[in-house]
Amino acid sequence: MWLHNIFLKTLGDCRVAIVGWGVAIGSIAPVIFAFVPALLGDSEARATVAALVELPALRLFGDPADVLTPGGYATWRLTLILPLVGVWALLVTTRTLRGEEESAALDLLLSVPRSRLHVALAKLGAIGVAILSIGSLIGFMAFAGALATGTALSLHAALLFGLNTALLAGVFGACALLASQFMKERRSAAGVTGALLGLSVLVATAGRVLAGREWIGRLSPLYYFERSKPLVSVIDFRSMLVLATLTISIGAAGVLLFLHRDIGGQIRIGRGAWAEDRTQRLAVFTGSPLLQSIFARSLGALAVPIASWGLGLAVYTGALTAILQQAQQNLLDLIGTFARFNPMYAELVARVTGGGDAEMNARSLTVVFTVVAALFLVFAITLASRWATDEEDGRFDLLLSTPHGRHDVILSRFAALTIGLVIVAGVIFASIGLTAWAAGFALDHVRLGEAVIGMLPVGIVVAAVGYLLAGWLHSKSVTGILTGFLLTSFLITLLGALFQWPAPVMQLSIFEHYGTPLVTGLQPVRIAGLLGVAAAVLTGATVRFATKDLVR
């Protein structure tokens, strides 16, 4: 039955993601409901939390409201996590239509008596139901957690909480559909939409923390997402309607363009050199001596993602640093108004929050670096997933027909991946350093370099695990497992320190092995351990690749 219906087949393909994403994100709220009463059990603890949420660094990733209640605290913490559902939405949308065009699977489907509109609506309808299912599961788990811990939360509010998450994800899924009409590769469409999501986060952050600049946030879908906080009975139906309208209108534009272009083609704007077919552009370099080197070929294959991720992370980290500096300056101006008649106090505030204290700035920027490290690991996952995808697409067949050993191929590709990680890490260092220098935001550049270097061994470990998993699993499974591990690690780090989880539990997070080098510096023993693990895992991946049968 499932294979005879396009809608059901597409929905069935999403069943693992529905359960995985819904359970992984939905389980956070019950954990918070269970631990917040103990965390806020006395007046001193409540006063500490209330003061912390006013710090600019902690307001970068969420708008605190009623944080002294379980529902408000959960909303504040989850604001950083819930947009990740939008990442899955944009990935599955680009894979479902543009990805099937790349693999020619859509050609076979359209050869049966079904219109292109029917196929598109069935597939997109299934994706919409999958996104709503993830949102519903998140809402149900929040309600179950509230019920189990005695927290006052209605089922209606919990479901609206999940619906709000689904609407935000739907916006970026629709944007991915529209972007895929202008690009011939699903990776490019997903990358552009991911960059748009990152830009939306930056715009929403600027509107949230910069005094008098709330209008900036209105340009981002996240602004309308944050307007509704159903877990504390704050529901803005107009903002939810804005998200639904954006999803429908952008999605309709994407479907309309899909119906009026060639399958496998793209909508082209202008007829310049960049509009030429990719194979024609690459043909110019056919005689290049660089193509005779496996390492050079591997690095060239990764050049576009390295450049795009480097540029995106440079803009993102630089903007966050500038926003943090401006937010601290705004806080200084506000406190200075009340400390006008106390010069000693005003001088102390200026040193701590005005950008002149490098140690305090480093502690504030550590919050930013947690997210930057997570994005850096996402970049490592995308590069590792390309290895599995290239094998599935048969891109190694011709290469391995030449006198090159399999171990040369995998080690050269991993060396190119490592170079890519180093390049992007260097770009992050330059972006933060230059932004801090231009804004007068004092930083210890040695510690900043250590914080950036510390991300490299962690990224290498994650990439090596991806190469090892690719020896047995398809690219989709490799990406799912690594993403699940990364999300679990982030949640352990996010919640474990607050609720004082035991050290063995905290060590399950990859971010705990990264530490806080911006404040404490690098730990050589930890770095050596991570590199040793990466070497062992890569050895296993090399042995597996050298002895397995290649599949397509």
pLDDT tens profile 94-139: 988 898 888 888 888 888 888 899 999 999 999 999 999 999 999 9
Rg, Å, the chain Cα set? 24
Higher pLDDT, 312 or 354: 312
**pLDDT surpasses 50 at 344:** no
Query: Based on the domain organization, do 313 and 216 belong to the same domain?
Result: no
- Residue 457 inside a domain? The answer is yes
Whether residue 492 lies inside any domain: the answer is yes
What residue has token string 């090596």?
A: 464
* Per-residue pLDDT tens over the stretch 506-520: 888 998 889 889 888
Say if residue 396's pLDDT is above 90: no
Looking at the structure, tell me whether residues 117 and 232 fall in a common domain: yes
Q: What is the pLDDT of residues 517-549, one digit of tens each?
A: 988 888 889 899 999 999 999 999 999 999 988
319 pLDDT above the threshold of 80: yes
Which residue from 54, 47, 434 is spatially nearest to 209, judged by alpha carbons? 54
Q: What is the pLDDT of residue 88?
A: 92
Q: What amino acid is encoded at 98 in this protein?
A: R
Domain final residue pick, 268, 283, 306: 268
What does the H/E/C string look like for 473-497?
A: CCHHHHHHHHHHHHHHHHHHHHHHH
∠269-275-276 over CA atoms, to 5°? 155
In the predicted model, what is the mean pLDDT of residues 310-335? 77
Question: Residue 306: what pLDDT?
Answer: 92
Same domain, 160 and 229: yes
pTM for the full predicted model: 0.80
* Residue 229 β-bridge partners: 234
C-alpha–C-alpha distance, residues 84 and 21, integer Å? 9
DSSP designation for 109: H
387 and 252 share one domain: no
Task: Say how many C-beta atoms besides its own lie within 10 A of residue 178's C-beta.
Answer: 23
Cα 550 from Cα 284, distance rounded (Å): 30
Query: What single-letter DSSP state applies at residue 549?
Result: P
Coil, helix or strand at residue 382: helix
Alpha helices in 440-552 (DSSP H): 445-469, 475-499, 503-506, 510-514, 517-520, 524-547
301 and 171 part of one domain: no
Contact 131, 85 (CB under 8 A): yes
In this model, does residue 55 exceed pLDDT 70? no
Q: Are residues 219 and 304 in the same domain?
A: no
218 domain residue, yes or no = yes
Count how many domains the chain has: 2
CB 196 within 8 A of CB 180: no
- Residue where a domain stops, chosen among 230, 253, 268: 268
pLDDT tops 50 at residue 140: yes
Highest mean pLDDT among 102-111, 263-272, 313-322, 393-402: 313-322
Q: What is the DSSP letter of 290?
A: G
Encoding tokens for residue 8? 């059901």
- Measured CA to CA, the distance from residue 533 to residue 528 in angstroms comes to 9
Backbone angles phi, psi at 234, to 5 degrees: -110, 105
Q: What is the rounded end-to-end Cα distance, in angstroms, of the chain?
A: 27
Is 4 within a domain? no
Poorest-confidence range of 154-163, 290-299, 425-434? 290-299
Q: Is the dihedral of CA 29, 34, 38, 42 positive or negative?
A: positive
What is the chain's mean pLDDT, rounded? 83
- Average pLDDT estimate for 229-240: 90
Residue 44 reports pLDDT greater than 90: no
**286 located within any domain:** no
CA distance 373 to 455: 6
Buried b (16+ CB within 10 A) or exposed e, 478-497: bbbbbbebbbebbbbbbebe
* Among 268, 285, 308, residue at a domain's last position: 268
Residue written as tokens 């998450």?
Answer: 165
Q: Say whether both 91 and 221 belong to one domain.
A: yes
Burial code of 445-465, b = ≥16 C-beta within 10 A, e = fewer? eebbbbbbbbbbbbbbbbbbb
Closest CA to 469 of 379, 378, 386, 388: 388
Q: Could you read off the pLDDT of 398-450 as tens digits, one per residue?
A: 777 777 788 999 999 999 999 999 999 999 999 999 988 888 888 888 999 99
Phi/psi at 91 (5° precision): -70, -45
Q: What is the pLDDT of residue 27?
A: 84
Is 37 part of any domain? no
**Both tokens assigned to 179:** 């972007």
Encoded tokens for 521: 């510096």
Highest mean pLDDT: which range of 24-33, 51-60, 171-180, 313-322: 171-180
Mean pLDDT of 62-75: 81
Nearest to 167 by CA among 67, 77, 272, 251: 251
**pLDDT tops 60 at residue 235:** yes
Q: What is the pLDDT of residue 425?
A: 95
244 and 300 fall within a common domain: no
Domain range enclosing 140:
9-31+82-268
Q: Are residues 126 and 22 in the same domain?
A: yes
User: Looking at the structure, do residues 221 and 313 belong to the same domain, yes or no?
Assistant: no
Cβ pair 356, 442 in contact under 8 A? yes
- Find the angle CA(98)-CA(83)-CA(455) to the nearest 5 degrees: 90
Residue 535, in any domain of the structure: yes
Please tell me whether residues 213 and 94 are part of one structural domain.
yes
Strands (E), 236-395: none
What average pLDDT score do residues 178-205 get?
89
Per DSSP, the residues of 234-248 read B--HHHHHHHHHHHH
Q: Token pair of 55, please? A: 């710090």
| Across 295-308, average pLDDT | 87
Are both 391 and 253 inside the same structural domain?
Answer: no
Degrees to nearest 5, angle at CA 93 with 87 and 95: 100
Is 450 contained in some domain?
Answer: yes
Q: How far is CA 350 from CA 15, 335, 411, in A?
A: 54, 9, 52
3-state secondary structure of 234: strand
